[in-house]
Structure 1
Amino acid sequence: MGGHGPDPKHGLWMGGWGAIGCPTPQKGVVTYSLSSNRQRPMAGAAHAAIFNVWRRFRHQILYVAPPFIAAYAAMNWAIERNEYLNSKPGRLAEGQSE
């Protein structure tokens, strides 16, 4: 099976692996190709980049923005609270002496 010479049993040529010979040519196999100088690999790339990024941003913003806003608000509160507690009025409010 798949040898490199005529089949001794049937007398037909069997090609190597991937090139099995056949006594009749195959029918119904169509191959298309396009010249490399006719291809446009970057056709529509700028348009797709702008609108695809906008579409993806629009669909993901409600998943990303609320946690980001909550984290920013919590961090801002913590920074302000820390600055207040380390200031003179903050220490006096907490009952510590100067």
Structure 2
Amino acid sequence: MGGGLDPKHGHWVGTWGDANYFPQKGIASYTLSPNRQRLFPNFWHTAIFNTFRRFRHQVLYVVPPFVVAYSLMDWAIERNEYLNSKAGRAEATD
């Protein structure tokens, strides 16, 4: 895959991947002038309303599992503290 003489034209062509390896034909490319580009069109409007929309659509998927997990963990911590207290040990030995 190294460079070599072009058999058709008889001149050196670079290695594979060089920009001048073979001239490309029939490829159209379009560009936009940097002066015409808007880097952050409607940035603040989009940021605020899009964030609110995404939050509103995802809140019911995220909040209930967290509420259940927090409630379960809170119950487990309170139960553990009770069972390791004087009253809890007395209840467990009965």
Q: TM-score range by the shorter chain?
A: 0.5 to 0.7
- TM-score of the aligned structures, taking structure 1 as reference length: 0.63
Count of aligned residue pairs for this structure pair: 75
Q: 1:46 aligns with which of 29, 39, 44?
A: 44
Identity of aligned residues (%): 57
Name the SS for the 1:37 alignment partner.
coil
Query: Would you tell me which structure has more strand in proportion to its own residues?
Result: 2
- TM-score of the aligned structures, taking structure 2 as reference length: 0.65
User: Which has the greater radius of gyration?
Assistant: 1
Q: Which residue of 1 aligns with 2:55?
A: 57
RMSD over aligned CA atoms reads 2.5
Per the TM alignment, residue 49 of structure 1 is displaced from its structure 2 partner at its CA by: 1.1
Write the deviation string for residues 47-83 of structure 1: whole angstroms up to 9, x where unpaired.
Answer: 1111111101111111111111111110000010011
Per the TM alignment, residue 34 of structure 1 is displaced from its structure 2 partner at its CA by: 3.9
Q: Could you list the runs of 4 or more consecutive aligned residues of structure 1 that deviate by over 3 angstroms after TM superposition?
A: 31-34
Per the TM alignment, residue 33 of structure 1 is displaced from its structure 2 partner at its CA by: 5.2
Q: Which runs of 5+ in 2 are unaligned?
A: 1-7, 10-21
Q: Which runs of 5+ in 1 are unaligned?
A: 5-15, 21-28
Counterpart residue type for residue 91 of structure 1: R
